């Protein structure tokens, strides 16, 4: 395939991906009121705890801008299988059979893991907002900028989702031979410390239970990734010995 053919293929895939995202954004536009009701739940939890907090828009265009941003974000999220397929379809012709299997495995397991991390973040969010809102002085009401709040929530969900993808990345790096399993094993103590540190900061509640609820799934995923990495290295060693 010539360079021109590659560029035309890239253009077509980008157009298809963008069209899919726009369709998803249109759906997001109509479900926006229901999404806002969900986003208000952590703030409602603050108010139920006696913390004076309200969402607000600071100018005329802010409400429309927030609706557009949320709709596009929902469009990207809902149509992720579609635009990920477009990326895959563009890259697949240049990949070997083994690389194709690894790529499909990463996409197949990555999406559920990311969503699981985002779900854990959502369950933690009401507690986080209550703890953060506890710093509001008496007789002072916290008027929360809606645009900033939406950014905070989406970043919170994305960070947790990416944290749940790290064990999968470990396995994929081992599978392609970029990192050996012994490297992961040698750093397991620091990894455990890092998981608990992340969980402590990600769950600002002062009780240990909330931190453990966040840390235990990550520890389980990390332990599973270590086990799979060791198995992959052993299989690679057996194939190498058999070939010798």
pLDDT in single tens digits along all 244 residues of the chain: 566 777 888 888 899 999 999 999 999 999 999 988 888 888 888 888 787 888 888 888 888 988 998 999 888 888 887 887 787 777 777 667 776 777 777 777 877 888 888 888 888 787 777 777 777 777 767 788 888 888 888 888 888 888 888 888 888 878 777 778 888 888 888 888 888 888 777 665 555 666 777 788 888 888 888 888 888 888 877 877 776 5
What is the distance between the alpha carbons of residues 158 and 126, in angstroms, rounded to a whole number?
A: 16
pLDDT of 25: 93
Q: What is the pLDDT of residue 206?
A: 58
Residue 193 forms part of a structural domain: yes
Please indicate, yes or no, if residue 73 is contained in any of the structural domains.
yes
Vertex 239 angle, CA 238 and 242, to 5° = 85
Tell me if 244 is assigned to some domain. Answer: no
243 within domain boundaries:
no
Nearest-5° Cα angle at 48, 207 to 216: 30
Assess if residue 143 is contained within a domain: yes
Burial of 48-71, coded b for 16+ CB within 10 Å and e otherwise, reads: eeebebebeeeeeeeeeebbeebb
Residue 20's pLDDT is what? 92
Helices (H), the chain: 3-48, 62-78, 80-91, 97-133, 146-175, 181-186, 188-202, 208-243
Per the domain annotation, does 242 fall within a domain?
Answer: no
Residue 168 lies in a domain: yes
Supply the range of the domain harboring residue 85.
3-237
Structural domains counted in the chain: 1
């Amino acid at each position: 395939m010539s360079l021109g053919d590659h560029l035309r293929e890239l253009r077509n895939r980008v157009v298809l991906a963008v069209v899919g995202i726009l369709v998803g954004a249109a759906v997001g536009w109509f479900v926006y009121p229901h999404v806002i009701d969900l986003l208000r739940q952590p703030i409602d939890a603050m108010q139920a705890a006696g913390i004076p907090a309200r969402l607000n828009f600071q100018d005329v265009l802010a409400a429309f801008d927030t609706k557009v941003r949320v709709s596009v974000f929902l469009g990207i999220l809902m149509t992720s299988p579609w635009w990920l397929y477009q990326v895959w379809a563009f890259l697949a012709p240049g990949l070997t059979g083994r690389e194709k299997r690894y790529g499909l495995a990463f996409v197949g397991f990555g999406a559920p893991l990311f969503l699981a991390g985002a779900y854990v973040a959502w369950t933690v969010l009401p507690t986080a907002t209550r703890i953060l809102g506890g710093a509001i002085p008496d007789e002072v009401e916290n008027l929360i900028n809606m645009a900033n709040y939406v950014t905070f929530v989406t970043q919170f969900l994305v960070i947790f989702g990416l944290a749940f993808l790290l064990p999968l990345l470990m396995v994929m790096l081992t599978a392609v031979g970029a990192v050996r399993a012994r490297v992961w094993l040698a750093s397991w103590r620091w990894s455990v410390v890092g998981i608990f540190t992340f969980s402590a900061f990600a769950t600002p509640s002062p009780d240990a239970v909330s931190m453990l609820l966040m840390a235990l799934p990550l520890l389980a995923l990390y332990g599973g990734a270590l086990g799979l990495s060791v198995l992959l290295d052993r299989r690679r060693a057996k194939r190498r010995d058999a070939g010798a």
